[in-house]
Amino acid sequence: MEFTLFPYSFIERKERTKAVFQKFIDGELSFQILNNDIYSPENSQFLDLLYDITAIFKTQLPKMPKDYMYRQIFDIKHKTLVLIEGKKVIGGICYRPFYEKNFVEIVFCAVDNISQVKGYGGFMMDCFKEHTKSEAYFNMSNRKNADSSMDYFLKTLGATAQTFRKKSQDYLNKSYKVRSQSLYFLTYADNTAIGYFEKNGFTTDIKLKNWIGYIKDYDGGTLMQCKVYWEVNYINKDEFVREIKLKALTKLSGQNNFLKVYPGIDPAQFDSISDIPGFENIKTTDYCEGKPHSTTNIHIIMGFLISDLQNNTNAWPFLQPVKTSEAWDYYNIIKRPIDLGTMEKKIQNNLYKTFKEFNDDFKLMISNCFLYNHPSTTFYKCAENLESYYDNRIKFLKFDKTNE
């Protein structure tokens, strides 16, 4: 029997990913790179698709001024990856490349309502990572091989969209050597999008230094960064992970006996579990012997649990501390504020000595939400759903919340 710490959410997510990937293999799902290139013979077709994705951005990003959105999408310096199912645009990422600075700015990113929570958003980001690697590789190679700045300019000028207009499946088996220049994504995410970006490898810990003055700054947004690894094929990442696991198992098989097959035993001569061949080589754990969880195990489980909570669709109001710009009187009413981001930092700094302390903080976070918000609000309902999800997780882990 296969055991995983959080089987339901991960298995469901994996099945969604497999279904989307299979559509890509079957040709039902594809992506295309667009820009407002007036010299392209396909410009009219590009414009139609750009209008389609603009409609999705307008719906999913209602706070963004419409005229500003049009200016960015149709700016010749910007490009847009559109995800297409059949003949319908279902999502897209508008971006501006700064390959000479080794980063890409994500300006807008969204999928339509029907396609959300089905794995399309994550797959779209995987396609985006692979495509930008292709663009960046071309750009870096031309810079390296150009005899002069004018030579480089002419080569780049000749690299129309046709250069990158491969069949989508051409990206499946594409691989690159690890390059000295790393490639990064930068974007400003609002509170509702932070969870999505975190699941796709983004972090608020900004390592890149040369972006200041190049990308657009948004009030109320959180700057996030993602490092793109040359050696990983993101579209086919399941196969990549499978190969890594196979190599690890092959290496471990020469150092351990866990793959050794022992002969069967005669039931008539079986007196105790220690009579099972190979049992004497097994080191039992506290869990097997019915002992309490060790402190190390508790911290590991708290780490997995906080990550699982952050990825829950109801967690978005609780990912970061409440901003006074959004709720000016919050800290006048709530005297002991807490959020999932703060809890994560406390885990990382080993500030939780028992699971009870972790549990108390989570319950305090929910109580704070109930105290500040009216039961009819979205925040209140998110708190109810997240608490129910948390309690089910605790039951699954069989924790005694009062003692550990």
The 3-class SS string of the chain reads CCCCCCHHHHHHHHHHHHHHHHHHHCCCEEEEEECCCCCCCCHHHHHHHHHHHHHHHHHHCCCCCHHHHHHHHCCCCCEEEEEEECCEEEEEEEEEEEHHHCEEEEEEEEECHHHCCCCHHHHHHHHHHHHHHHHHHHHHHHHHHCCCHHHHHHHHHHCCHHHHCCCHHHHCCCCCCCCCCCEEEEEEECCCCHHHHHHCCCECCCCCCCCCCCCCCCCCCEEEEEEECCCCCCCCHHHHHHHHHHHHHHHHHCCCCCCCCCCCCCHHHCCCHHHCCCHHHCCCCCCCCCCCCCHHHHHHHHHHHHHHHHCCCCCHHHCCCCCCCCCCCHHHHCCCCCCHHHHHHHHHCCCCCCHHHHHHHHHHHHHHHHHHCCCCCHHHHHHHHHHHHHHHHHHHHCCCCCCC
Do residues 73 and 54 make contact, with C-beta atoms less than 8 angstroms apart? Answer: yes
135 has catalytic annotation = no
The gap from C-alpha 211 to its chain's centroid, in whole angstroms, comes to 22
Number of Cβ within 10 Å of residue 348's Cβ equals 11
Which residues lie below 8 Å from residue 32, measured CB to CB, with a gap of 6+?
A: 49, 81, 82, 84, 165
Looking up tokens 């708190």 gives 383
Instruction: Dihedral sign for Cα 147, 148, 151, 153, please.
Output: positive
Q: How far apart are the first and last CA of the chain?
A: 27
Q: Determine which one of 105, 130, 198, 387 is catalytic.
A: 105
The catalytic residues are: 105
